[in-house]
Amino acid sequence: MTFDDTVTYTNETSGIVVSNLNISVGSAPAFNYVPSPIDVLYIFGSVSTPDDFFMAIGSASTASPTFFIFGYTSSSFQNQTFIASQDGGGSLELTPTVPEPATITLLGLGLASMGARRWRQRKGA
């Protein structure tokens, strides 16, 4: 893809070709580019549908751009969104967007505590 790195692009669908994306997508690719102050290129599915993707590339106008996030929403996985981001070591981590067990445990403990407090107040009255 080539683009003028002095222009801000928003939801542009012409001038982009995505190849070797080994997933099925639900819409044509589009892109946004923000030249200043962040120099970030966003590539995504042009319609928000299941089986769409998004990614962001920093320092896009330089000779050494940096990938920093990729996400994919999949209808075959009950509309879950998977996000891969680059950590300091350069590896990718794929994370489904589901609550962590610790979050559910904390919610359960909070509800149980509220129930116990109410039970004590009724018992003492």
pLDDT (tens place) for every residue of the chain, 125 residues total: 667 788 888 888 877 776 666 666 777 788 889 888 888 888 888 666 666 788 888 888 888 888 877 777 766 655 556 666 665 444 445 555 555 677 778 888 888 888 888 888 887 65
Residue 51 to residues 16, 77, 82: CA-CA distances in angstroms? 19, 10, 11
Residue 109 in domain = no
Query: What one-letter code names the amino acid at 99?
Result: P
pLDDT score of 37: 84
Residue 49 in domain = yes
User: How many folded domains does the chain comprise?
Assistant: 1
Residue 123 in domain = no
pLDDT score of 26: 73
pLDDT score of 61: 86
Range of the domain at 14: 9-98
Residue 111 in domain = no
Residue 65 to residues 19, 24, 114: CA-CA distances in angstroms? 18, 25, 51
